[in-house]
Chain A
Amino acid sequence: MTLTIGKTEAASGLDLRALEQLLYREALLLDEKRWQEWLALYTDDCFYWVPSVMGQKDPVNTVSLYAEDRMRLEMRIIRVTHPRAFSQDFPTRMSHVVGNVMLDPENGKGSDGGLNPKADLVVRSSVHILEYRKEDQRLFGGTVRHWLRRDGADWKIAMKRIDLINCDAPMEVVQLFL
């Protein structure tokens, strides 16, 4: 892992507010379904991962709810916006609340699934996602880690891991991004 910042205290020169704003912006783009702008936050070699068991070690020896490279993210966006996506006849709506934003105390150690993403720092946050479609609302929640890579003055997301507390629950289909 090419982390340049190893410890939280080493981040003193960092503008944590800017990192928070990046996460808030991601949440806003997801809530407003601005898919292309959302995807533009990610690197070309990105990985979007939602494990199916708590503390999942890797996306290989255990199945994952999402284990998406950029290609599959792009395919999903085409599908979910297609006029014949019948399961979106009544569109799903989502509201993300992002909190507890901090530099990951473990720097992504033990949670990168052995993928060793090229990143400059790892941000840890909590998320609550309220989802509504037709008759029902449901709630997803858990811990999120973003592996961020410097991109000029900005940051890009090289990898996102979402550990849902209900990752192994029986659930109806999940159509949008968490």
Chain B
Amino acid sequence: MAQYDAAAIRALIEPDRVHRNIYVDPALFDLEMERIFTRAWIWVAHESQVKNPGDYVATTIGRQPVVVSRHTDGNIHVLYNRCGHRGAKVVGDREGNVKFFRCCYHGWTYRTDGSLLAVPLRSGYEGTTFDMKDPRYGMMRVPRVENYRGFVFASLTESGPSLAEYLGDARSSIDDMVDRSPEGWLEVVGGCFRVVFRANWKIFLENLNDTMHPMVVHESSVEAGKIWAKEHLPEGAPDPLPVRFTRNNGFPYEFWQKLVLQAHPNGHSFMGGIFPPRRTDPVFMEYMAAMEKAYGKARTEEILAVDRHNTIFYPNVSIQSGYQQLRHIRPLAVDRTQMDVYAFRLKGAPDEFYKHTLIYSNVVNSPSSIVMPDDHEAYNRVQEGLVAQASDWVSLARDARRDRHDNKEWVSAVGTSELPMRNQYQTWVRYMAAEA
């Protein structure tokens, strides 16, 4: 297995191409878990998943098992899911509500802020290293937790940029998602799609803002929308949502070229919308009335004028702000990734309007989606193909010389540029080449 010092890692990333080892070498995957997932801000939960004191969800930060919990004082903590005694995973299920956590092995108990509550049979520890007050015998808190408008992120390092600094102006996509609620708040919908694919996590991240793939990969679902509409609807009739969510992927290249792509520092990016969320049907008008009541006409116009498709918050979460979807990327192995997909209600929006979110979830993000299987086939084939000892290089050269340096904050490009991927690898190499 190859060993990578900083110079070797830098050599894997060139301005417009990357070495295939970054997708197939387990040693690099191990380094990613150590150097990216323990240093960056990692999305762990939405606040509404732990709405009440005692609510918890179990998840992972890279390979680290953690529990996100709401303490009795209302604060949200991210705790290592490890007993302070002998190390057993304390929380064994995915979510729930407790008065306190209790280890299944020897019955040590912990408050929902992680502090040690009780140890059975207190005698016998005199003169030993054990100390009831020492946080190391609790469920230890991860070093940093920050919350932006309900999106909870954690970092496993003590120092580094704040969440606001880390997300920068890409945060505006979270604003876009939350502002669409007349009450300025999101609530997670019950259930979660857990979809697994046999490819490296970065292949999925690359795909999110890749506009050159939809008309190729999704031809079968594009045709499903087109053919169904042709057979059932009069010429010029508006597309029902399932048709819109499929056939729009088949827009011609001119459409995709005109889309906005913005690449932000730290690997974040977003692309312009392809399923304009703004409509004129009665359900939408009812929603708009609720928005205008809450924000006034001018502000409502401003909010609804935003139209973004995927936003990536590097390295592990992507949102579709216009349709209230969130995809949590969980690397399992160098060639295996799990994606947890959540849908949200816009608080204060009419129930009928929320049903559109559900249709989106179903058509696009369910494991039985009509759209996604062809994406996953492509990811899996990239993983299989990159094993080939042909070229060592994966090309990300499209429009590499056409970046537009709009300002000091971000770079934009024509919609069909591979800028978002190149941007991700600038951040990748920065973390990976920093050894300490």
Contacts and interface: CB of A to CB of B under 8 A. Distances in A.
Contacts of B227: 78
A52 B189 CA distance: 12
A173 B378 CA distance: 13
A129 to B, nearest CB: 13
Interface in A43-102: 50-53, 56, 59-68, 71-72, 74-76, 78-80, 82, 84-89
The B contact surface, by secondary structure, is helix
A12 to B, nearest CB: 39
Given A52-B192, A86-B378, A63 B338 contact: no
A170 B377 contact: no
Contact of B195 (A66, A79, A87, A171): A171
B10 interface: no
B190 A53 contact: yes
Given A62-B191, A75-B224, A78-B224, A172 B362 contact: no
B253 to A, nearest CB: 17
B246 interface: yes
Interface residues of B, number: 43
B219 interface: yes
A139 to B, nearest CB: 15
Interface stretch (B260-268, B364-372, B428-436): B364-372
A175 B196 CA distance: 14
B84 interface: no
Contacts of B367: 65, 171-174
Contacts of B48: none
B223 A84 contact: yes
A86 B361 CA distance: 22
A106 interface: no
Nearest to A85: B220
A169 B338 CA distance: 11
Contacts of A67: 358, 362
A62 B221 contact: no
A168 interface: yes
Contacts of B369: 173
A72 to B, nearest CB: 6
Nearest to A80: B220
B363 interface: yes
Contacts of A80: 220
B228 to A, nearest CB: 5
Nearest to B338: A170
B415 interface: no
Contact of A82 (B190, B223, B363): B223
A71 B358 contact: no
A171 B228 contact: no
Interface string B242-257: 1100100000000000
B405 interface: no
Nearest to B228: A75
Contacts of A74: 228
Contacts of A173: 195, 197, 367-369, 372-373, 376
A89 B370 CA distance: 15
B225 interface: yes
Nearest to B341: A63
A160 to B, nearest CB: 14
B373 A87 contact: yes
Nearest to A72: B242
A62 B195 CA distance: 17
Interface in B160-213: 189-198
Contact of B191 (A52, A68, A71, A76): A52
B140 interface: no
B242 A168 contact: no
Given A84-B219, A168-B194, A172-B376, 18 more contacts: A52-B193, A56-B190, A60-B355, A62-B190, A63-B192, A67-B358, A67-B362, A75-B224, A75-B246, A78-B223, A79-B370, A85-B220, A87-B374, A88-B220, A168-B192, A172-B195, A172-B198, A173-B369
List the 8 shortest-distance A-B pairs measured between CB atoms, nearest first: A62-B190, A85-B220, A87-B377, A82-B220, A170-B194, A87-B373, A79-B224, A84-B219
9 contacts: A50-B368, A53-B191, A56-B190, A63-B192, A65-B366, A72-B363, A75-B224, A168-B191, A170-B194
